[in-house]
Amino acid sequence: MRTRQGNIKKRDENMNFLEERIVKDGIVKEGNVLKVDSFLNHQMDIDLFNRMGAEFKKRFAGKNINKIVTIEASGIGIACVAAMHFNVPVVFAKKAKSINIDGDMYIAEVESFTHKCKNQVIVSKKFLSENDHVLIIDDFLANGCALQGLISIINQAGGTVEGIGIAIEKGFQNGGNIIRNLGYQLESLAIVDSMDAATGTVKFREQ
């Protein structure tokens, strides 16, 4: 498997726009942590999101998608901008029951790699049904637990998962393999095969 290597001082002409941005503004920390909070999941670069949405639209061309589903909180911004390219609504799974959610709900348990905890995520049954053809979008894919939770919720509703779009996949963890082995079309805009906190180096998988 070929990889591309980049760091803050080097640019590979074969990198795509998201990989370039990760190299430019991402920070590698100990514990295989990639901080992208200056442009992806705290401060958000909407122009970048727009390019990501256009790329997802291209990769899922021909799919009958009528709804995008994500999970709070970091996936919401990307999903909303992407939805403009598909002209569909966005539903996001909530991590805590709110008094604003009434009626029956779909529920799944997910484990967070980032926060090292388990959460129940919920979606009102009013917003997902057997008529929905869903594109799942999220910012990161690590162990795949969040995606499996969203897939479970869509399956509970009788809907169809048409595909899964991810901004950054940690290719050295098993989440991507798990989801692909389930038979879903998984499209990750950047797949990180390895990171070195000492040098700030990130190696991307060729796609």
pLDDT in tens, 19-48: 999 999 999 999 899 999 999 988 999 999
Structure-token pair, residue 186: 């998984």
pLDDT of residue 57: 97
Q: Which amino acid is at 196?
A: D
CATH number at residue 58: 3.40.50.2020
pTM of the full predicted structure? 0.90
pLDDT of residue 98: 61
Q: In whole angstroms, give the CA distance from residue 92 to residue 107.
A: 12
Distance of CA 125 to the CA centre of its chain: 23
pLDDT of residue 3: 46
Helix 17-25 vs helix 46-59: crossing angle, to nearest 10: 150
In this prediction, residues 174-203 reach a mean pLDDT of 95
Count CB-CB contacts under 10 A for residue 1: 6
Total number of domains constituting the chain? 1
pLDDT of residue 8: 40
Domain that holds residue 194: 3-205
DSSP-assigned beta bridge partners for residue 35: 27
Q: Which amino acid is at 157?
A: A
**179 pLDDT above the threshold of 90:** yes
In this prediction, residues 155-175 reach a mean pLDDT of 97
Q: Which amino acid is at 96?
A: A
